[in-house]
Amino acid sequence: MINRLSRRSFARLFGTAVLAPTALATLSTTAQAEGTPSTPTARRFPQGFLWGSATASYQVEGAANEDGRGPSIWDTFSHTAGKTNNGDTGDIADDHYHRYKEDVQLMKALGLKTYRFSVAWPRVFPQGTGTPNPKGLDFYNRLVDELLANNIQPYCTLFHWDLPQALEDKGGWQSRDTSEAFANYAGYVAQHLSDRVKHFMTLNEMKSFVDIGYRDGRHAPGLTLSVDKVNQVRHHAVLAHGLGVQAIRAHAKPGVKVGLAENAEACAPIIETAEHIAAARKAMREENAGYLTAIMEGKYTDAYLAHHGANAPKFTVADMKAIGTPIDFVGLNNYTTTWVRADNSSSGYAVVPAPASYPHMMSPWLRVGPQGLYWGPKLIAEIWGFKEIYITENGASSTDTLTPDGHVYDSDRVMYLRNYLTQLHRAVSEGVPVKGYFCWSFMDNYEWADGYAYRFGLHYVDFQTQKRTPKLSAQFYKEVIARNGLA
């Protein structure tokens, strides 16, 4: 190609060289100076695309016992011997509770347009219900004000796994009352923040906290319940979402948008032919039947109910109506791809298992599959007609090390992000309505049961000194944001 085109028109077509070899660096300067056209060939994203980054309360805040915060199930779990890597807890984490101003300046330096954070329920309602703790909410008032003063749009998640321990003591997500308590809490926060926060997400990754926390026992509260009980917990989670959407709408200022951040399985055809694509579309509905499909359709699929038989969740018509309350946007947390092939079985598809040699990042579950960022949003937009989609999380764990001269060369994370964003670009250039992308995570933080050894940040954090250092991936992401694109 470069032989047939002049060097200058090559640069015009393919844009600048954030990611290209140094040989192209001079060309990129020319292209920038002349104003690279905003076309899909230039690998630009749509104008106004929201580049963001995400964190969650228990993973970054620390200040576990300050200003009246009550304990959460993660305090209990992480302080129980043998539950977390190295016995790590979120007591201090990134000390973001005290350093949020410094962190917002780092966000600004990166060029972030938006920041996704979560509110710690036990800060606002230390007992889960009852009397609110104004000092708890005040932290989020300060954070939101600081973000807005720096031109960064706040996106707020209401539940990112730190359930008040007082509610767990009364049955936690096994109890329907927790769904109701969540709605009250969500409505209260929306009432107080919605003059400034315009996007709320109800729950983060229902699939993760239900399956890992209540079935596998590797996350708080560390339970290994039977299938029927896990299914009921799952039902209470989607119900909490639905009741939460209604409560937010009832209490928020007009114009607020409500959605969720769910790690739906991103089903992708193993070979891009019509039969495998059709199989992936079927898989997308069925593999997410307990969560996103129930929320989008206000019912459990026949296959889901048949599969669980006597273990299926108990629910009422009113529950399903609440669960199906229309949402304004959907957030997809995506790290991996569920590869699907066409199959003669009654479902019409089969999930292709990963061989032992399948590449993954530092976290063994984090199997690399950038195509999820194309097929995930594309299929959910097709199936349910979504008009507003966000990638609310995407990122990678890597064995980051600080060099003696203070750099982190996380080339694997840069490669990961470039490949995933290339697939996301493929989606938006076909018109899939993805409006923004949040990189997980803004900085290294408390990676749940994996503790501090598993780093996902764009910023390296020295947990002894709390010093933050932008990694090579931060430099990469900053260029992507500045150019609104990949080239």
Does 358 participate in binding ligand PNW (rule CB under 6 A)? no
**Tokens 């993973």 sit on residue:** 59
- Tokens linked to 68: 């009246």
**Tokens matching residue 292:** 């996103």
- Name the segment binding ligand PNW (CB under 6 A); options: 2-10, 63-71, 203-211, 316-324: 203-211
Site string for ligand PNW, 324-343 (x = CB under 6 A): ---------x----------
Active site residue 168: no
> Considering the complex, what minimum distance in angstroms separates the CB of residue 231 from ligand PNW?
19
Q: Which of 129, 208, 246, 422 binds ligand PNW (CB under 6 A)?
A: 208
Q: Supply the minimum distance, in Å, between the C-beta of residue 310 and ligand PNW.
A: 28
Q: How far apart are CA 38 and CA 74, in angstroms?
A: 46
Q: Catalytic: which of 168, 262, 265, 393?
A: 393
Angle at 230 between CA 73 and CA 163, to 5 degrees: 20
Q: What gap in Å lies between CA 129 and CA 450, rounded to an integer?
A: 30
Per CB under 6 A, the segment of 94-102, 201-209, 239-247, 457-465 that binds ligand PNW is 201-209
**Contact criterion met (CB below 8 Å) for 243 and 271:** no
For position 365 contacting ligand PNW by CB under 6 A, the verdict is yes
Is 205 tagged catalytic? Answer: yes
Q: Applying CB under 6 A, does 88 fall inside the site for ligand PNW? A: no
Residue from the set 75, 88, 393, 412 that interacts with ligand PNW by CB under 6 A: 393
User: Could you tell me which of 47, 46, 40, 52 has the C-alpha nearest to residue 391?
Assistant: 52
Burial class of residue 97, CB neighbours in 10 A (0-12, 13-18, 19+): buried
Find the part of the chain contacting ligand PNW (CB under 6 A) among 32-40, 124-132, 202-210, 274-282.
202-210
Position among 45, 100, 456, 460 found at the interface with ligand PNW (CB under 6 A) = 456
The three-state secondary structure class of 377 is: helix
Q: DSSP letter at 252?
A: S
Q: How many of the other CB atoms lie within 10 Å of CB of 8?
A: 12
Residue from 253, 241, 250 nearest 293 by CA: 241
Residue 275's alpha-carbon distances to 44, 142, 155, 268, 340, in angstroms, are 31, 52, 38, 12, 11
Residue 56 beta carbon to ligand PNW: minimum distance, rounded to whole angstroms: 5
d(CA 125, CA 175): 18
Nearer to ligand PNW, 254 or 364 (CB): 364
Q: To which H or E segment does residue 114 belong?
A: strand 114-118
Binding piece for ligand PNW, criterion CB under 6 A, among 45-53, 75-83, 200-208, 352-360: 200-208
Considering only residues 264, 447, 480, 483, which one is a binding residue for ligand PNW as defined by CB under 6 A? 447
Catalytic positions are 205, 393
The residue ranges that bind ligand PNW (CB under 6 A) are: 56, 59, 204-205, 208, 263, 333, 365, 393, 440, 447, 456
